[in-house]
Structure formats: C-alpha cells, structure tokens
Structure 1
Amino acid sequence: MNRLPITLSGLALLITAPALAQEAPPEAGGSESERNVATSLDEQPAVRHRLLLVKGRFELTPAFESTVNADYRYTLSGGLRAEYHFSDMFSAGAVGFFGTGLNTGLSSKIIDSLDETNPDGDPEPTRDEYQQHLNDMPIHGAAYFSVTPWYGKLAAFGKAFVNFDFYFQGGVAFAMLSNDCSPSVCDDDDPLTEIRRDADGNIVRVDPDDETSDPIIDPDNNPNDDPPLNDGTKVGLYLGGGIHVFLTNWLALDLTVRNYLFSNNPSGLDTNFDYRVTADDTQLQNHLFVGIGASIFFPMRPERTP
C-alpha cells in the first residue's frame, strides 16, 4: 500500500502550523471604525434603562420594632423613619419610636420569688421595691447616615421577580427612660452619705469613705430604698442594618435590626454590691431591636437610566 501522499500531507501540516500560530495578531484597535466602536462600548453604562428605585427619592416608613435582648422589660414600639437618598449608595435620615414595656420571663420569675415584706437588714428587695426600680423606654430613636452596598433582584420559583437592597446605618442614638419608683419606696433622699457623730458629738451625714470622722453609728446597708437613677435622657451610639424588598416601584417591605448603645441600669438596683445605688451601677448596654415596616418612596414614579 502506498502511504507516501498521506505522509507528505502530514509533514506539510506540521511545518505550516507553527507559522500560522506565530502569525502576528491584528494591529491593536483595528481600523478607525473598530476603535470607535470599542471606545463607545467602554463609555456605555453596564445596565441600560435601569430603574433608580432609591436615588433622589424621599423614603417614609411607618414601622414597628421590639427588643430581643432585654433582661427585665421588653419594649414594644411603633414609630416612623424618614430618609433621603442622595444616590443609589448614600442616604441620611432619622427614626423615632414611642413604646410600652412588658415584663420578660426572667422578670416575672423574679417577682414571683420575692416576698411582700422583708426584715430590716435583708439586702433582698421586696416585690414592690424590685418592680418600681425597673425602667422603661417610652421614647427612643436615632439620626444616622446610611450606605447601600448591594442591590439586585430576587426570584421566587423562577417566576416572581422583586428588587431588593441591603443597607447599613450608623449615627447617634437617643432614648427617654422612666421608672415608677414612688416616694414611699425610694425614700432615701441622700443615699451617698452615712450617719456619724462629728467632733462635737452631733449626728451628721458624711461620705462613707471619709475616714476622718468617728465610726458610723447608723450604717445604711439598704440600697433598695435608694432612687434608681435610671430615668431621663440618654445619648449614645446607633448601629443598624436591613433589607428593602420592593413590592412595587414605590412600596417596599423594610426588615431591620437596630442597636441603640447607651449607659443604663435597667434594674435600678445595686449591681456592684456596695449597698448604694450610684452611677457606678450603670454600664454601657446594647439595646437590640428587630423591626418591620412599609417604606413609601416619593416621588412614586422612579426615574430610569438612559
């Protein structure tokens, strides 16, 4: 059998293949028309006719939120969030809530375990003393800046598509705290002093840490009649995050987690066991809330990119 033609053909292919592989590529950019097309494509937006669902719009959100980490009193609150979106990514706003308090499971167990009255010298609070020292948060809120780093579309069963975005917030938190400690319970008008005799034998109230006076003759070892010092205005740090799920072009479901950090003593009692209720019993605390709202965007008709 004569295999010479096949062999010669194979040799020809082997010889010409490297030359074809090393052939110079087309000149960069090609012709002027090709360069114009490439430049034009580079200058175009990644997505055409995209809905600007937040940019340049004002957002108003009636919302509800509840504490999730409260030790003694839950806070259930309703309020309003207002925010303006400077761009797809950056915005600024404020949120405010009015709330009511409910006992947690732990607090209910503590109340059930306490007696109505205690003998003198017993450091355990009575039922009334415990309940009246607890504080509530009737008003709270924050002013913040917000960043929205991600947005896109969600698909349900491959048929229903909705727009969404994730956002993160940071700013200043504020809260108004209150308690129900009546004068009949919180009747120690001067818990920071003790009764001693001075050099002339007179009974006086002095700083218990003052060692220059005579020994205490009537030690105040009952912190349960001290004012709780856990009411008034508090200011601190606010951190939050959430997601918008757009049901229409102007209405979105808003799911959020918010943390209001400020100094507080929610029990209002002696927490450092020095037999006094003072500012030393107060600590920086996280007040964590989860919430849901309905965000309404104005104007209701969003713009589109070219």
Structure 2
Amino acid sequence: MAAFTLLGTAGNAEAQEIQLTGPLAGAPPAKHLRLYREGRFEIAPTISFTLLDEYRRTIFVGGRLQYNIKDWIGIGVWGAFGAGSIATDLTDQINEKAPRGSPLTATNVTPGNFADQTAKLKWIGAPQITLTPFRGKLAIFQKIFVDTDAYIHGGVAFVGVDERKECGGAGQLGCTDPNSFSLESRTALAPTFGLGLSFYINRFLSLGAEYRAFPFSWNRGGFDSRGAGNNSKFPDDKVNSEDRTFKFNQMITIAIGFHLPASPKINQ
C-alpha cells in the first residue's frame, strides 16, 4: 500500500534540452568526409574460388560494374566464367577405389573416368543491389590507416551448369551405356547474397574481399540417386532432374576496384 501511495503521488518527469554552444554548435557529425562511393562508377576485375565442393572446385575470373547512387546504396552487375575446374580428392578416390560397374548387366561396364560425369560451373551473371551501412578506418600496427567500408549485396544469379545428360528414359540411352556419361549444359536460376569489405588504397583505387552464396539444386556427381520409392528418395535407373539435390554454393572473391571520377566528393 505504501508503494502504491508513493507511485500515485509521484510528479511528472521532465527533461531539459541541452543547447550545444561554442565552435561545435550546429556542426555536422563529420566534416570533409570523403564519399568514396557516391556518384561514382566502379570497375573491378575479380577472381573467385568456390568453397566446400564435393567433386570439383572452380576458379572464376570476371568483373563487377557498379554505379553508386549514394554513398550507402549502389546498383550493378557481377559476372564471371569458370577459368579452371579442379577435381577434388574425393573425386580421385571414387575414380580409383569405388566399384562402379553395372549390376544390371552380365558384363562389368566401366564408365570411364569419374571426373568426366561430375557437374561443372561454367559461368555466372548476377544483377545486384549493394548496401554499405558501415565505414571507418582500419589501423595496421597503429601506423598505417586505411579507409574501409563494409557492405552487403543481394540479387539474382544466372548460373551456367554442365551436368550429366539425361538417360534411362524413353528414347534415351541406358544409364549403363558408356556414352551416357557425357555432360550437357543448362542455365540455373538462384538467389545470390553476401557481404564484403573494401579497402581504399588511394582516392580512385580499392582492394576488396567478398563472400557470396548462390544456393540451388543440381546433380553434382552425375548419380542416379532419386526418383523411386518413398518420397522418391531411391534410385530409379534414370538420370534426370529428379536427381538434383540442393547445395548451398559459396565462394570467396578478391577484387581490385577502379573508381570514376578519379576524385571522390568531399562532404563539407
């Protein structure tokens, strides 16, 4: 009862606005700030490396073209082609040790090198939006200070994929035929998103590191793994779109950015 009595008799809370005086009165949060992005085009050659691959690692060479409407938002496109595709150790082990003859025939049909049937990423093109919510300086040994910003990006990726061609269906080669282990091309659609850092070496040149994800379903090993049984989770002696499985594809990208005009705007 005493507590309720005190609450009931409490007066109204009031606050007093503090008027800033002196040389900082009316000053903006930052003066003479270099706007490295606003109103500038960025042309950035890139090299990318895929991560956590089961059967093949891909090295992409490409570039990014971007226009920054404001210092915190930009629109652009990134694209790259697979300059190198390297078989993983798992692929080599399967090729050397795993029995891959056909149990459906009287003879042991050898399909050849396993790497020939594993899928490949051929090219990627991605229109995207970039948001840059953080910026500051990075100190190296407390001696060298580099203007840095952190950004996130998102868009839609068009991905060129070479997968094992369909077999076992009507009018198609049987999946035990050695000629059925070749690849054919298709284009997959996937969301793409990630984050990155830009380090501004000088007023028109930057060095960037970026993480990108582009998840979609594809048949990476060229296996007949689905299509029959409960929930279609068992082999059906066919290779087709039902054998594609979801993969959270990822890559790391290194970029060298050239910014035009050569001199950034300066906030007064």
Normalising by the smaller structure, the TM-score range is: 0.7 to 0.9
Q: What is the distance in 2 between the residues matched to 1:67 and 1:232?
A: 19
Contact 2:162 2:185 in 1 (8 A): yes
Contact 2:192 2:212 in 1 (8 A): yes
Once the two structures are aligned, what percentage of the paired residues are identical?
Answer: 26
Aligned residue among 269, 279, 283 for 2:223: 269
Question: What's the CA shift for 1:275?
Answer: 2.0
* Letter of the 1:255 counterpart: A
* Structure 1 SS opposite 2:25: helix
Partner of 1:295: 257
Distance 1:224 1:282, change over 3 A: farther
* Structure 1 SS opposite 2:237: coil
**267-276 vs 45-54, which moves further:** 267-276
Aligned residue among 169, 191, 199 for 1:237: 191
Q: What is the distance in 2 between the residues matched to 1:260 and 1:230?
A: 21
TM-score, L = length of structure 2: 0.79
The 5-angstrom pairing of residues 152-191 of structure 1 reads: 152-179=136-163, 188=167, 191=168
Partner of 2:81: 98
Partner of 1:47: 30
Structure 1, gaps ≥5 residues long? 1-27, 194-204, 206-219
Partner of 1:83: 66
Question: What's the CA shift for 1:303?
Answer: 1.3
TM-score, L = length of structure 1: 0.70
Aligned residue among 46, 66, 70 for 1:63: 46
* Structure 2 SS opposite 1:231: strand
Question: What's the CA shift for 1:127?
Answer: 4.9
More strand, by proportion: 2
Partner of 2:125: 141
Q: Report the number of matched residues.
A: 241
> After TM superposition, which residue ranges in structure 1, 4 or more long, deviate above 4 angstroms?
35-38, 114-120, 220-230
Structure 2, gaps ≥5 residues long? 1-15, 227-234
Q: What is the distance in 1 between the residues matched to 2:209 and 2:164?
A: 33
More helix, by proportion: 1
Contact 1:173 1:235 in 2 (8 A): yes
**CA displacement, residues 168-198 of structure 1 (integer Å, 9 cap, x when unaligned):** 11110111112587xxxx8x5xx234xxxxx
Contact 2:159 2:189 in 1 (8 A): yes
* Letter of the 2:169 counterpart: L
Contact 2:102 2:176 in 1 (8 A): no
